[in-house]
Amino acid sequence: MKLKGGIVGRLSILGVVAMFVLLGLFLVGAQWKIGEVMIGVAIGALLIIALAIGGAMLWYANKHPETALMEGAEVLVHKQLQITTKMGIVDEAMLEPSVDETMPVIEVKATQSDLDALDVPKSLPEAPANG
């Protein structure tokens, strides 16, 4: 599978390059046996970088799976394709999220207890005595 595009694709390429550099350092260290401490430090730093890149890739791909491999322009097209009408794709300016300004404005300032409060069922009308 090719991972060329998007932030995940680019970080993948960076990760592969880092692995080659790591391999090169191993070979240099084995052949000339010089600066072993420095090579060890460099290998350690590369491992940390590789782990950080891997973690960032997993986080982003998990949070944005549909756009993880897309370039900027592709992300825009993806958004436009999502918002499509019978008449066609909508303008980029109309993709910006907002509230519906024609409806009453709701201030989002609920407390945790408000958020946790359960719905109270409305009482049903009394059934007729004979029914």
Considering beta carbons, is residue 12 or 67 the nearer one to another protein?
67
Closest CA relative to residue 82, chosen from 31, 100, 61, 70: 70
Q: According to CB under 8 A, which one of 27, 77, 99, 110 is a site residue for another protein?
A: 99
Q: Is 101 in the site for another protein (CB under 8 A)?
A: yes
Q: Is 17 in the site for another protein (CB under 8 A)?
A: no
Q: How far apart are CA 92 and CA 82, in angstroms?
A: 12
Site string for another protein, 25-44 (x = CB under 8 A): --------------------
Q: Is 76 in the site for another protein (CB under 8 A)?
A: no
How deeply is 79 buried, as exposed, middle or buried, from its count of CB atoms within 10 A (0-12, 13-18, 19+)? middle
